[in-house]
């Protein structure tokens, strides 16, 4: 039988932060809709066709190498604008979600705490794994800044 290990300072700090955020959840957390799957693709295809028609109507050729990347980028921006705007008009507070789910024991908050703690720790570990590269990145930024300033 394995002996339980004491949590590290980082784990305790992450858990405390998650607890603080969950405590503020009724004021600070809002749930929004997210469009997924085929809906995203259909909206993208709609905007790709619209942009292609508008480009052709103005006399430009769709066979130009710059046109396809232009269409792809702008169609994705238009899709994201529509989906984000729509999602933001449908926001629900934590207590509304709990009421809808019949979550009187606040399991949603416990799940939120677990997820926050896990993601905080994952973000810390990811940053720490790359931290040795920081001095070189800062030096490169300094060289770039200094090089631009001398011109």
Residue pair 46/76 in contact (Cβ under 8 Å)? The answer is no
pLDDT at 87: 84
CA atoms of 141 and 147, how far apart (whole Å): 10
Q: What is the pLDDT of residue 123?
A: 95
Kind and range of the H or E run holding 118? helix 107-130
> In the prediction, which pLDDT does 11 show?
95
pLDDT at 114 (0 to 100)? 95
pLDDT of residue 150: 55
Please tell me whether the overall predicted TM-score, pTM, comes out greater than 0.85 for this model.
no
Phi, psi of 33 (to 5 degrees): -75, 150
Write down the pLDDT at residue 147.
83
CA distance 60 to 54: 9
Please tell me the predicted confidence (pLDDT) of residue 149: 62
Distances (CA, A) of 50 to 20, 68, 100: 47, 13, 39
Q: Which stretches in the chain have pLDDT values below 70?
A: 149-151
């Amino acid at each position: 039988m394995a002996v339980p290990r004491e949590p590290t300072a980082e784990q305790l700090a992450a858990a405390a932060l998650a607890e603080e955020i969950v405590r503020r959840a009724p004021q600070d957390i809002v749930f929004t809709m997210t469009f997924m799957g085929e809906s995203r693709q259909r909206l993208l295809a709609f905007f790709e066709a619209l942009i292609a028609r508008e480009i052709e109507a103005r006399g430009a050729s769709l066979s130009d190498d710059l046109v396809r990347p232009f269409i792809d980028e702008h169609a994705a921006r238009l899709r994201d604008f529509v989906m984000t705007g729509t999602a933001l008009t449908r926001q629900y507070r934590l207590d509304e979600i709990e009421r809808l789910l019949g979550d009187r024991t606040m399991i949603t908050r416990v799940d939120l705490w677990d997820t926050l703690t896990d993601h905080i720790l994952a973000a810390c570990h990811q940053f720490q794994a790359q931290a040795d590269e920081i001095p070189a990145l800062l030096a490169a930024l300094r060289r770039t800044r200094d090089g631009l300033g001398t011109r």
